[in-house]
Structure 1
């Protein structure tokens, strides 16, 4: 009489317990790796009051004139989602036209909602825009890539200079913004984003550019270290 096998094969359609345990472990490991690699916000949430407290009032020879007169992004639900923090101020110093400033900061730039570029909000306000020119704003250390354009509406000609930072990048266009977000996501980060926009009214772009560059440099130098890091990394 033939003896039965000491280690019989499993019935058809069934998986040994050990193999199922290994497969389950591999799936759990894959899930854990995917979760660990999921992009996470690169900066802690900054409350509105805290952000506003970082923005200088008078500094150097510049005095605060008002917080009005600045062209804003369209007042809709999208703007509320784009910006955790939005600060506007107008500054003036002797011998210089009024400089209007807007700072817009968002803790998370996820690739869908990104910094709202001025080339979008000015036409909504009825302005015709010139071509955008690339410029570099010299700082105490290095420089920051920026854009400048002329916005014209009945009774108002405004020279606008701005720069944006998304994570470690300073994109000058929508395409560069998307690339910056993708690169940050691949590195495991959801980048924060900030825009600094400055402008003057009633003078030529040639005259405005050095004034706006000087203001930007002096404003950043006079800002607390925390705001400096938000602006230029």
Structure 2
């Protein structure tokens, strides 16, 4: 049974203090941020890099992918938003979403897929942190969950990259941005999501992992860096 009793003053004070500390730290980080020196990628740049052929899968269309709700905030979040649907003989159709932002600070951060699917009317299983290997065998942190609505069930695998980090929770993501901003750097941000409809969740997620590895092998060097980080990021992930 839910606890409807009012929270104690001490409980409320702790949350107020914690929230105040986060807000103060975010403000301090924002004040310390230098002007961004990284070359900004214009809209449409990433879309041109994404290969039409990924392993056995071939690009079929751009529609049919669950998207973030369209509003003024989401329009500011993503400098590049790519959606692709890939098909292959005798294999499940794979849906790919790549959301890239040139700028990640305390005010603007990429949405995580749980928000998009819930807003789209899906019921979600708990998000499970996992480790995924790219095409070179380097592992990095990712997440997976199952999204259900009356008409379909999707297996969803995704990862976020903030600069050189792969945060697996919203709190980790916020602290990675904060840490970079306090160091007077402005990291870029990526959300990559691979999803598919499969009657078996286990084989569905196995297929998603295979697609990620194939995508890494098919991607040109610049896209590979956007998706999986530069050489320093990969070296750090390999020794973690």
Distance in 1 between residues matched to 2:80 and 2:64, nearest whole Å: 18
Where 1:150 maps in the other structure, the secondary structure is strand
Do the aligned partners of residues 43 and 231 (structure 1) sit closer, same or farther apart at CA in structure 2, a change above 3 Å counting? farther
Distance in 2 between residues matched to 1:143 and 1:49, nearest whole Å: 28
Counterpart in the other structure of 2:24: none
Counterpart in the other structure of 1:208: 204
* Alignment partner of 1:76 is 2:71: yes
Distance in 2 between residues matched to 1:188 and 1:221, nearest whole Å: 34
Counterpart in the other structure of 1:58: 53
* Root-mean-square deviation over aligned CA pairs: 1.5
Listed as ranges, the matches of 1:147-166 within 5 Å are 147-166=143-162
* Length, aligned pairs only: 198
Alignment deviations for residues 166-219 of structure 1 (CA, whole Å, 9 cap, x no partner): 111101111001110011112221110011101011422211111000101111
* Alignment partner of 1:136 is 2:124: no
Distance in 2 between residues matched to 1:147 and 1:167, nearest whole Å: 18
Unaligned stretches of 5+ residues in structure 2: 1-31, 230-240
Distance in 2 between residues matched to 1:88 and 1:95, nearest whole Å: 22
Asked if structure 1 preserves the Cα contact closer than 8 Å seen for 2:59 and 2:84, the reply is: yes
Unaligned stretches of 5+ residues in structure 1: 1-36
Where 2:53 maps in the other structure, the secondary structure is coil
4+ residue runs over 6 A deviation: none
* Alignment partner of 1:195 is 2:191: yes
Query: Cα offset for 1:56?
Result: 1.1
* Alignment partner of 1:227 is 2:218: no
Query: Cα offset for 1:95?
Result: 2.4
Do the aligned partners of residues 110 and 64 (structure 1) sit closer, same or farther apart at CA in structure 2, a change above 3 Å counting? same
Which of 170, 175, 178 is matched with 1:174 structurally? 170
Do the aligned partners of residues 42 and 183 (structure 1) sit closer, same or farther apart at CA in structure 2, a change above 3 Å counting? farther
Do the aligned partners of residues 218 and 202 (structure 1) sit closer, same or farther apart at CA in structure 2, a change above 3 Å counting? closer
Query: Cα offset for 1:42?
Result: 5.8
Query: Cα offset for 1:50?
Result: 2.1
Counterpart in the other structure of 2:81: 86
- Higher CA-based Rg: 1
Query: Cα offset for 1:158?
Result: 0.7
Listed as ranges, the matches of 1:31-70 within 5 Å are 38-41=33-36, 43-70=38-65
